């Protein structure tokens, strides 16, 4: 698929994108920490977390990854699946769904609409699959900025959850 928004090209991802995805995750952790947010993703770079690189590898082989590019350079990633992670305390929807397992963008390109373009792509892919429900979960802490981001992109909060002491929010978007 060749979706283009603000010169952002979205293409299918694969195992060769795992290194770039890890780099984006590492830079996101550093960016959050620089803003005082150590609760969302902690302080350890994702590439150094136990199981972090293996998880990203699974995202590129067992799920459906997409990569956003600007001028041929990866600047964002999205991973879709058919439901929430079994490791999370989130029940399946009870109907066919697509689930955003990962959304990350390179913070050096913040403000260009990369995340919004990837979410629009996810909605289109969900619709093309004949599925009407797209869901995502996110950190619900801080001032709620991340939940508000998803709301601005057409999602509605549905249920809150705790994963240990990590507050989460499930959001849904009807695309049919």
Nearest to 24 by CA among 79, 86, 64: 79
Record the pTM.
Answer: 0.92
105 touches 24 (CB < 8 A) = yes
In this predicted model, which residue has the larger pLDDT, 124 or 35? 124
In Å, how far are 44, 75, 130, 169 from 49, measured between CA atoms? 6, 22, 37, 23
Residues 49-65 have pLDDT tens digits of 999 999 999 999 999 99
User: Strands 3-5 and 8-12: what pairing?
Assistant: antiparallel
CA-nearest of 96, 153, 156 to 126 is 96
């Amino acid at each position: 698929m060749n979706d283009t928004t603000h010169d952002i090209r979205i293409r299918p991802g694969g195992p060769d994108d795992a290194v770039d995805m890890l780099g984006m995750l590492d830079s996101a952790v550093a960016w959050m920490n620089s803003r005082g947010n150590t609760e969302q993703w902690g302080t350890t770079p994702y590439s150094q977390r136990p199981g972090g690189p293996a998880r990203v590898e699974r995202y590129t082989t067992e799920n459906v990854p997409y990569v956003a590019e600007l001028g041929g350079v990866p600047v964002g990633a999205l991973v879709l699946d058919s439901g929430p992670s079994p490791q999370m305390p989130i029940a399946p929807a009870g109907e066919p769904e697509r689930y955003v397992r990962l959304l990350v963008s390179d913070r050096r390109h913040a403000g260009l609409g990369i995340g919004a373009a990837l979410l629009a792509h996810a909605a289109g892919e969900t619709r093309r699959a004949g599925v009407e429900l797209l869901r995502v979960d996110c950190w619900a802490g801080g001032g709620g900025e991340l939940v508000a981001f998803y709301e601005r992109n057409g999602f509605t909060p549905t249920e809150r959850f705790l994963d240990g002491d990590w507050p989460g929010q499930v959001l849904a978007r009807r695309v049919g």
